[in-house]
């Protein structure tokens, strides 16, 4: 569902609209440990429809684990995760879903994830990477899937690479294919885990530009972990700063990035700048 939202440049108007939108991702008291190490420490987060949230924090602070829990790629020890008003990953009687049922449920709720390492199918062309899941998970016919895949490749500026294999594409192109793939079934929530961290610096801009357009033109709800501070300031409605698995500061992107209140945030930002 595409809701026209004012561009991020019109921040006050956007914030007023977002405040009235429904919560589409809710994380409550989320706790997870690996052995003795607490990786998520009672974390609470609510994200409203159309909101763009940037997750910042030092390496090891729990950003990937949080995103993976929201997408139910990980189990956790305590707390709750709701996406699209549902407790993703469980059937009506509270039993855990298997991988196939979970993929179908993710598709039905409309949550997709983009990874640092692209995760494309190496033996498939760009077109097949986008069209394949539409057929396997979303029950598109071959013809419809290819038509939709071509639309999405055009969206990310890659019509001319439709028949290329991943290894013949640049990292930036591969990540744009991965974004086209995740967008193809029209998700309402998109999780992006350091989408530009694996890229050479000169390829970062083309990927950020695609993401920026999703926020501004499509009103997509997004949670993005990133170290790109300028991008976060331009695109995010809200910045959430993690340290040791807990939120130590959050607020409007500009406020947090320009005038951090927490010393951990301030230190991190001064090192990154
Ligand atoms: P970030 O994405 O912010 O860098 P992560 O969520 O990847 O942080 O990791 C948080 C912490 O959890 C780190 O200390 C990391 O070493 C640890 N961790 C992540 N995945 C595993 C795993 N599969 N087994 C053990 N420890 C892990
Ligand atoms: Mg990470």
- For ligand 1, whether the C-beta of 167 sits within 6 Å is no
- The average confidence (pLDDT) of the chain is 92
DSSP string, 130-153: HHHHHHHTT---HHHHHHHHHHHH
Q: Give the ligand 1 atom nearest the CA of 194.
A: 2
C-alpha closest to that of 68 among 101, 29, 27: 27
pLDDT score at 6? 67
- For ligand 1, whether the C-beta of 63 sits within 6 Å is yes
User: Which ligand number lies closest to the CA of residue 60?
Assistant: 1
pLDDT score at 159? 97
Task: Round to the nearest angstrom and report the end-to-end CA distance of the chain.
Answer: 36
Tell me: pLDDT of 265 over 90.
yes
How far apart (Å, rounded) are the C-alpha atoms in residues 1 and 48? 14
Q: In angstroms, what is the span from residue 265 Cα to ligand 1's centroid?
A: 20
Q: How confident is the model at residue 99 (pLDDT cuts 50, 70, 90)?
A: confident
User: Which ligand number lies closest to the CA of residue 59?
Assistant: 1
Tell me: pLDDT of 148 over 50.
yes
118-131 pLDDT per residue, tens: 999 999 999 999 99
- For ligand 1, whether the C-beta of 57 sits within 6 Å is yes
Helix pair 201-218, 171-183: axis angle to 10 deg = 20
Query: Burial, 254: exposed, middle or buried (Cβ in 10 Å; 0-12, 13-18, 19+)?
Result: middle
Structure tokens at 163: 């028949």
H-type alpha helices, the chain: 11-20, 63-70, 99-109, 126-136, 142-155, 171-183, 201-218, 229-235, 253-258, 263-272
Is this prediction's ipTM beyond 0.90?
yes
Q: Give the ligand 1 atom nearest the CA of 242.
A: 3
How far apart (Å, rounded) are the C-alpha atoms in residues 67 and 225? 8
34-80 pLDDT per residue, tens: 999 999 999 999 999 999 999 999 999 999 999 999 998 898 999 99
How far apart (Å, rounded) are the C-alpha atoms in residues 140 and 215? 26
Kindly give, in sequence order, each residue whose CB lies less than 8 Å from that of residue 65, ignoring residues fewer than 6 positions away. 32, 39, 40, 74, 245
149-203 pLDDT per residue, tens: 999 999 999 999 999 999 999 999 999 999 999 999 999 899 999 999 999 999 9
């Amino acid at each position: 569902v595409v809701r026209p939202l004012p561009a991020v440049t019109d921040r006050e108007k956007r914030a007023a609209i977002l405040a009235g939108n429904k919560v589409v991702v809710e994380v409550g008291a989320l706790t997870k440990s690996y052995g003795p190490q607490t990786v998520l420490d009672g974390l609470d987060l609510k994200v409203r429809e159309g909101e763009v949230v940037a997750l910042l924090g030092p390496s090891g602070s729990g950003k990937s684990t949080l995103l993976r829990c929201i997408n139910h790629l990980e189990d956790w020890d305590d707390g709750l995760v709701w996406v699209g008003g549902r407790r993703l990953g469980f059937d009506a009687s509270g039993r855990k879903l298997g991988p196939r049922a979970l993929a179908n449920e993710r598709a039905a709720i409309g949550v997709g994830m983009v990874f640092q390492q692209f995760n494309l199918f190496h033996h498939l062309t760009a077109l097949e990477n986008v069209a394949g899941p539409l057929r396997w998970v979303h029950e598109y016919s071959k013809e419809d899937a290819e038509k939709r895949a071509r639309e999405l490749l055009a969206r990310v500026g890659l019509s001319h690479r439709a028949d290329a294999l991943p290894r013949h594409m640049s990292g930036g192109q591969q990540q744009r294919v991965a974004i086209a793939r995740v967008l193809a079934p029209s998700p309402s929530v998109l999780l992006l885990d350091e989408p530009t961290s694996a890229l050479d610096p000169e390829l970062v801009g083309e990927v950020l530009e695609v993401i920026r357009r999703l926020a501004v033109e499509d009103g997509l709800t997004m949670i993005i972990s990133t170290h790109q501070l300028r991008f976060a300031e331009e695109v995010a409605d809200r910045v959430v700063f993690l340290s040791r698995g807990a939120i130590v500061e959050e607020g409007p992107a500009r406020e947090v990035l320009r005038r951090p209140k927490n010393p951990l945030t301030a230190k991190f930002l001064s090192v990154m700048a």
